[in-house]
């Protein structure tokens, strides 16, 4: 599970750009093309749909391999690959025909846009986008998506929308080139600044029937959630592995820390196996709390791993010109608890479920 799994050209690019991608948006336009050129977004996509085939866990591993070198790039890959999965699980062939070829060729960026929807699914907040009928099969969509990643032009963004005509929400794909779609400037992030993360305002955007990813939005979100969250877990797997490797390689304290490093590595592999088994069996569709717990445990291992790297490095970790990768990973690790659904939201959901079971 190392960078050796990545194409040499991509590995070299990641290693030479990791710091700048974290701190600046200057090279943001290069991120998705680099990932697409390496074919990482096609892993785990059925060959019948134009992908490279393989298992769902292979897609998680691809994100983990990238995260070992740059969480910014792993975040972008997560967004693009998650949108591709939306099309794979959609029951609307017209949506796949419209978007999937361009996404697989990298001609358009896939923006997940479902953070608000995943919170809605857990009854954490109301939907922020509404749709009204337009003509026989079309819709007018208005609202705001406050935090969306991979908004590299051109992009297509997924949004869960509420309608007055039906109690259940729908999930739509909205082309960023349509009239009424406005992208904000990049958000002022602490890190991951080359991830093309911004807000989107939708003002009476007209979409057709090909935009419908899921007419029954709740059913669609439950089908999409296992990969949405599992792919996120890939970011934690890769970041933790990188810190554990660094903890072994730097400092005279590594012998003292070795037992904790070994335990953390074993935890990572156990959690990866839980993800693999859950995706393969379909368990996570009906047992979302099991995946919530994996995400929480992985976040804890990330924090432990970064601390092990710090303790192994000692005071040199605070010298930016000595161990700059530690500073980057420290910033990257601060993102793991807050990416939607955040650890607080997951803990709240598990507490609520536990209370209901009593």
Mean pLDDT, range 142-162, rounded to an integer = 95
Q: What is the pLDDT of residues 64-84, one digit of tens each?
A: 999 999 999 999 999 999 999
Q: What is the pLDDT of residues 80-135, one digit of tens each?
A: 999 999 999 999 999 999 999 999 999 999 999 887 777 777 666 778 899 999 98
- Provide the phi-psi class of 282: left if phi over 0, else alpha when psi is between -120 and 50, else beta: left
**Inter-residue contact 39 to 104 (CB < 8 Å):** no
**CA neighbor of 172 nearest in space, from 197, 136, 124, 138:** 138
């Amino acid at each position: 599970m190392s960078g050796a799994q990545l194409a040499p050209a991509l590995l070299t690019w990641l290693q030479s750009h990791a710091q700048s991608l974290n701190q600046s948006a200057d090279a943001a336009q290069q991120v998705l093309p680099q990932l697409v050129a390496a074919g990482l977004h096609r892993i785990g996509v059925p060959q019948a749909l134009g992908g490279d085939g393989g298992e769902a866990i292979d897609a998680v591993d691809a994100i983990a391999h990238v995260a070992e070198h740059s969480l910014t790039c792993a975040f972008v890959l997560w967004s693009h690959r998650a949108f591709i999965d939306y099309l794979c699980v959609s029951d609307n062939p017209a949506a796949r025909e419209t978007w999937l070829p361009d996404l697989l060729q990298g001609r358009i960026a896939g923006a997940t846009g479902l953070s608000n929807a995943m919170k809605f699914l857990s009854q954490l907040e109301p939907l922020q986008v509404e749709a009204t009928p337009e003509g026989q099969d079309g819709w007018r969509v208005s609202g705001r998506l406050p935090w969306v990643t991979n908004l590299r032009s051109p992009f297509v963004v997924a949004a869960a929308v509420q309608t007055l005509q039906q109690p259940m929400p729908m999930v739509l794909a909205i082309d960023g080139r349509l009239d009424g779609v406005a992208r904000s400037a990049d958000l002022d992030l602490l890190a991951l600044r080359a991830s093309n993360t911004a807000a989107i305002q939708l003002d009476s955007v007209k979409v057709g029937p090909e935009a419908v990813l899921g007419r029954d939005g709740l059913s669609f979100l439950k089908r999409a959630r296992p990969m949405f969250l599992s792919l996120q877990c890939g970011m934690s797997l890769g970041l933790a592995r990188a810190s554990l490797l660094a903890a072994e390689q730097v400092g005279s304290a590594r012998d003292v820390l070795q037992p904790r490093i070994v335990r953390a590595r074993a935890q990572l592999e156990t959690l990866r196996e839980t993800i693999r088994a859950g995706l393969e069996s379909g368990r996570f569709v009906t047992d979302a709390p099991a995946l919530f717990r994996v995400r929480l445990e992985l976040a804890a291992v990330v924090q432990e791993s970064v601390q092990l790297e710090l303790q192994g490095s000692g005071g040199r970790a605070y010298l930016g010109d000595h161990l700059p990768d530690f500073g980057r990973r420290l910033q990257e690790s601060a993102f793991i608890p807050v990416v939607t659904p955040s650890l607080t939201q997951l803990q709240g959901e598990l507490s609520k479920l536990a209370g209901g079971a009593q």
